Structure 1
Amino acid sequence: MSEAAAPSYRGWAGIRRAFATPSALTMLVLGFGSGLPFLLIASMTLSTRLRDVGLDLGSIGLISLASFFYLLKFLWAPLIDRYAFPLTAFLGRRRSWLLFAQLLVAASLFALALARPDLGVGPLVAWVLVGSFAGATQDSVVDAYRIEIAPASAQAALAATYTLGYRFGLILGGAGALYLAEYQGWRWAYTAMAALMLLPVAATLLSREPDQPETTVERRIDFLGAFWQPFSSYFRNNGVALGLVLLLFVGLFKFPDQVIGVMAGPFYLDSGYSKADIATVSKLYGIWTGIAGAFLGGMAVAAYGFRRMLFVATLGVALSNLAFLLMAQYPSQIWAFYAAITADNLCQGFAGVVLIAFMSSLTDRAFTATQFALLVSLANLPGKFAGGLSGYLVERTSYSTFFVLSALTVVPTLLLLAWLWRRIREPVKEAPVEAT
């Protein structure tokens, strides 16, 4: 039996090789499907639509809480790991859940296209709940699919293609929807986005199901064990005290960014920018700026590890909020919009990669999907709830005061990082992988 070196997916040559594989193309389209509904259901596009029809900031903040399923996907991730979805089980464990989630996302976007928030927000909130559950389920399955469809040596390349597809989805769900809303109205915008979900549906039907190992952790545990073993494993590996502090740190890391997310769209409109301006600067230029920040973050983590970069990213996430003071001081000035978005998206892209590297180091590969879903949820949960009340704070103070206060929320995160500094373990570099 002869041994041959496994294909390398590192560097630019590795990325080009990865793009030529069928699984990479699949991840590109699945990433697009994950990114497309997020802004339409859980973030700026939805809040911009609500402000555009005249809703007050307090109501917009509260309605944003309807997308909370994105924060709680770890609760049903063990079921996704263990069972196939009954109605589409013939597709296999992963693809059955994918198809169900993608069709439900498309249905919820079409229903939101027909909703009339100016006549009452009840139906809209209901479909936001459905859409956020479907979108969160889709994200969990895609994460698991990516890990299982290819060997460990290809994971970085597949993550890159997934991220690129996700960013394309954000561009269309943000800039694309806003352009359509500006010239054709919100109904056409959401209808078009629902139709675009047919692309990831096709990818799911045409792709292959990942191979299941003959013996898996899931088969060795019972139904209840599928829920509690990922959590007991985490605390067994880290200890109770360190484990809790690590979870708290992850939860607060993105807090300054998350707390202003709901108010971003209304702030842009109130500053005198049109929906077309918001689409061009925030959701087109901004997405590519975020990609540039992500590349910088990836290179920095590769060169210095994530411990020192956690400090840089933590400061960047907070201080980038102060860039929005330019827009508050110079409303309607397009240069101020570009300057603020450049600072914010570069820092957010950089911090996002650093956080992913850190969270990945905390997961047990036996429970990757559930533990990673838990960490992702924690990274968004505190800021999401605070963002739900952000409209009331702005109405009682001002946008400028709000941005300054959001930047100051970095202090607890920095204190936690100081305590964790000597306790954070950098990942051990893996030896080259050989295939038999």
Structure 2
Amino acid sequence: MALHQRQSALEHTHDSPHGWQILLITVRDPRARTLLFLGFAAGLPLLLIFSSLSLWLREAGVDRQTVTFFSWAALGYSFKFLWAPLVDRLALPGLTRRLGRRRSWLIAAQIAIIIAMLLMAFTDPALGPRHLFTLALAAVLLGLSAATQDIVIDAYRIEIAPPAMQALLAATYIAGYRVGMIVAGAGALSLAAWFGSSSAVYSYSAWQATYCIMAAVMLIGIITTLTASEPTVATQNTAENDQFNSRHNARLVALFLITASLFATTFFLTSQVFNAFTALSESSVLIAFISEAAHFLFALLTAIMSGWLLVRYGLVQSHYARATWVAPILDFFQRYGTRPALLLLALIGLYRISDIVLGVIANVFYQDLGFSKPEIAGAVQTFGVVISLIGGFLGGLLATRFGVMRILMLGAVLSALTNLVFIGLAIAGHQLVLLYVTVSADNLAAGLASAAFIAFLSSLTNVSFTAVQYALFSSAMTLLPKLLGGYSGSIVETIGYPAFFVFTTLIGLPVLLLVWLARHIVQIKT
């Protein structure tokens, strides 16, 4: 009865004048607690692919450019919309009947995350290219399984609560996410240092123990999944999708695996051609980026055309293929219209570009300035994450009080401008106080912008296609920034850190116009 009353209070709060009252109701809601721990499980793998892994690789003697290329291991986050329809449609044998569609996929993804972490733990990148390649494959597996977990958690969050709760539930989710990042960031760095690894003395056993501990911590996510309740909407969708019998499901999976394999094969076989073109550019970072983007697009288009031919020749009935992959996309364009939908996708694709591109190389930047691993862990992975928690809750409250689009604009302005603070740190060098100031500005802006942006993305989804559409939006959010971020090391080598930070600010300015234009579209639709 109390839970029903809390739900009713939130569902009827349209003008949302009492932000702190809503925050109290949200924190006391069991759904918020579930999202807090699921957010922790989602935040844990990210830094084990990015910053913590980058410091491990640097201590192992891997060059800076190769380290930043490892950020591409997380491209599964950017392409997760390709298999999100399978997560929405397919039942997992032995799990779905017991746990439901959302929780069964969560358990499967979380087990895969633990396996990937253990594979990384038992691979030493310092032993040569073959071991470095094995570590890259394990990191890719971690990225794919973590992206799958994100698909399910995002759908779960949208389905389990009414729209009035989404901004503050997003802040709760971000809080757990950031705590997970503290554990995977500051926690992992502190453990590696405590076990005896440093930039001066590399210890593989220290990093091995660290990643094994991170795999054990991931059990928190599994316990949360097993004790959480299944969303009613997901249960309804399960009944609606019973028409997809095991034979059709197997064919859908086969179609996806074949096209994914063709993408990987095409990308691998054409690498020498595109690398040769890049070499002719005399190490131009812009030409290299365009070449690599064209490389990705060529492989992707080849896979899509191959999938279309396989459907046409009967591997999967066209009705099932359309219902799985095409219908969610058509729904979005039909609801908003072609031009407004494209503008919204452009906003989604560019909104986080400033902080993602900078974030790929941030820890390497701190290390190049002479900051020790404990100093980086304390400032960035502990203090910075606490500041981002404050920013997240502030963003949730402000979005509830003043509207999502206004705070989305504020977040875009702050995300771009705070990158300029890094210039002062680059000039000052090893100044611990200035490091904390820089981290504070960056994380406060990122937390505020993230809370508003998650609520914005949630408002664009149709509950009939929750997982697919949100995965499409979040994939579009990270694809271009991560592709460009993979070249952040090369850009810094060419123009230096101060000019690089100016560059990351400038590429965030077009976002302001896009937010202003999207504001009118969303107002018309709401």
Distance 1:356 1:335, change over 3 A: same
Is the 8 Å Cα contact of residues 87 and 152 (structure 2) preserved in structure 1? yes
CA contact (8 A) 1:217 1:366 kept: no
- The offset of 1:60, in angstroms, is 1.2
State the structure with more CA Rg. 2
1:388, distance to aligned residue in structure 2 (A) = 0.5
1:179 aligns with 2:190: yes
1:126 matched to 2:133: no
Query: Could you tell me how far apart the structure 1 residues matched to 2:240 and 2:178 are?
Result: 33
Identity of aligned residues (%): 40
Aligned twin of 2:41:
33
SS at match of 1:8: helix
- Paired residues of 2:166 and 2:455 also in contact (CA < 8 A): no
What TM-score, normalized to structure 2? Answer: 0.75
CA RMSD, Structure 1 to Structure 2 (Å): 2.4
* 2:154 aligns with one of 120, 143, 150: 143
Contact 1:8 1:153 in 2 (8 A): no
TM score, norm. by length of structure 1: 0.90
What is the CA deviation profile of residues 261-318 of structure 1, one whole-angstrom value per residue up to 9, with x for unaligned ones? 2111111110111111111100100011111112222233233323333332222111
Report the equivalent of 1:252.
350
Alignment of 1:2-401 (within 5 A): 6-9=7-10, 11-41=19-49, 43-89=50-96, 90-119=98-127, 120=129, 121-150=132-161, 158-184=169-195, 185-211=206-232, 212-213=235-236, 218=241, 223-224=320-321, 225-401=323-499
For residue 84 of structure 2, what is the amino acid of its counterpart? A
Aligned-partner Cα distance in 1 for 2:153–2:66: 33
State the Cα deviation string for residues 396-423 of structure 1 (Å, max 9, x = none). 2211111111111123323434544543
Stretch of structure 1 that moved more, 244-253 or 309-318: 309-318
- Structure 1 residues 241 and 216: alpha-carbon distance in aligned structure 2, compared to 1, 3 A threshold: farther
Q: Which moved more, 1:153-162 or 1:165-174?
A: 153-162
Count of residues in Structure 1 that have an aligned counterpart in Structure 2 = 424
Relative distance call for 1:132 and 1:202 in structure 2 (3 A) is same
Looking at structure 1, the residues matched to 170 and 151 of structure 2 have their Cα atoms a distance apart, in angstroms, of: 14
1:219 shift after superposition: 5.8
* CA distance 1:392–1:336, shift in 2 (3 Å): same
For residue 36 of structure 1, what is the amino acid of its counterpart? L
Bigger mean CA offset, 206-215 vs 332-341: 206-215
What does the per-residue CA deviation read over 1:357-413, in whole Å, with 9 as the maximum and x for residues that have no partner? 322232222222211111111111111000001111111221111111111112332
Q: Aligned equivalents of 1:52 and 1:214: distance in 2? A: 48
Query: What secondary structure is seen at the aligned counterpart in 1 of 2:125?
Result: coil
Displacement, 1:155? Answer: 5.0
Which one-letter code corresponds to 2:366 in the other structure?
A: Y
| Counterpart secondary structure, 2:493 | helix
Larger mean Cα displacement after TM superposition, 138-147 or 32-41: 138-147
* Structure 1 portions without partners, runs of 5+: 429-436
SS at the partner of 1:208?
coil
**Shift in alpha-carbon separation, 1:45–1:138, aligned structure 2, 3 A:** same
1:316 and 1:347 in contact (8 A); partners too = yes
Q: Is the 8 A contact 1:327 1:340 kept in 2?
A: yes
Q: Answer yes or no: is the 8 Å Cα contact 2:19–2:397 preserved in 1.
A: no
